[in-house]
Structure 1
Amino acid sequence: MKLKRPMNDELELNLTPLIDCLLFLIIFFLLSTTFAKTGKLQITLPQADATVPAAKKKPLEVSVDGRGSYAVNGDILADNSPEALRAAIVAKAGESREQPLIISADGQAPHQSVVSIMDIAGQLGFRQIGIGTQKAATP
């Protein structure tokens, strides 16, 4: 007796209903979404008066050369110890700690010297500490 082999039907995947469902979902979400203008913040800006600001205080400049020697406002210190630097800064600044303190360090200055100036300035209460730079030469 001769038996027929079962025929394997190739499986077909019909994508048309899937695409229809996706299009219906997209249309539904587009119609149900509200478009509100939330890009702008509603703020009230402050008013400015025409008064001239007070004159800025002259900054206190502490310099360090390549060997680690200090100078406060151009006056070179005889001793390079942190105690002498603290005394010189207190003498130049007086009681004022609101003036800016500018650190001008040579490119070859020891890092510890710059850190010492920043540490002493922070301990004395200076809040505006800056590092002086110069513009690079353009080739």
Structure 2
Amino acid sequence: MNFRRGRQREEPEINLIPLIDLLLVILIFLMVTTTYSSFSEMKINLPTGKGDPAQAQAHLIHVAVAADGNMQVDSRKLGAGDRAGLLDGLVRAAAGRSDAIVVVDADARSTHQSVIRVMEAAREAGLTQLTFATRNEP
């Protein structure tokens, strides 16, 4: 017995519009989060040269800054807030050379202000080349 004679079976229909919406959202997400390696690196061919190394060694002025703020210019010890002594020590150590390099050996626990004082004194002494010494950890 066929009780469903007058009724026809409906074919299932797949609605593609929500699927397309989902794929567009995923595509936008992937485009935004993708990193492009071509922007983060540059291919540079550096020139090579065959020349004699420079014979003149740069004049280095070592300024040590301790954790408590005490300073030492080459072998001359200074107090924690002795700005005039620091400036005088840098001028004496430079001995009129404008190409002298100030090397700041600051303790890891020294204050930023102590290091800034050394930088300001070097600028006032006319020493524009400044570098910081670091220690390589094994």
In structure 1, the residue matched to 2:98 is: 97
1:51-130 equivalent positions in 2, closer than 5 A = 51-78=52-79, 80-130=81-131
SS of residue in 2 equivalent to 1:60:
strand
- TM-score normalised by the chain length of structure 2: 0.59
For 1:108, the aligned partner's letter is R
Report the Cα distance in structure 1 between the residues aligned to 2:51 and 2:134, rounded to whole angstroms. Answer: 33
Question: Residues 79 and 47 of structure 1: is their aligned pair in 2 closer, same or farther, counting only changes over 3 Å?
Answer: closer
In structure 2, the residue matched to 1:12 is: none
What whole-Å deviation, never above 9, does each CA across 1:63-84 have from its counterpart, x for those lacking one? 1101000101132125631111
Question: Residues 60 and 128 of structure 1: is their aligned pair in 2 closer, same or farther, counting only changes over 3 Å?
Answer: same
What whole-Å deviation, never above 9, does each CA across 1:72-129 have from its counterpart, x for those lacking one? 1132125631111001111111111201110010111111110010111122221210
Report the Cα distance in structure 1 between the residues aligned to 2:50 and 2:78, rounded to whole angstroms. Answer: 45
Q: Which runs of 4+ in 1 moved over 6 A?
A: none
Report the Cα distance in structure 2 between the residues aligned to 1:51 and 1:111, rounded to whole angstroms. Answer: 40
Report the Cα distance in structure 1 between the residues aligned to 2:116 and 2:101, rounded to whole angstroms. Answer: 17
> How much does 1:50 deviate?
4.2
In structure 1, the residue matched to 2:35 is: none
SS of residue in 2 equivalent to 1:122:
helix
SS of residue in 2 equivalent to 1:104:
strand
For 1:118, the aligned partner's letter is M
SS of residue in 2 equivalent to 1:109:
coil
In structure 2, the residue matched to 1:132 is: 133
- TM-score normalised by the chain length of structure 1: 0.59
Structure 2 unaligned spans of 5+: 1-46
Task: Using the aligned pairs only, state the percent identity.
Answer: 23
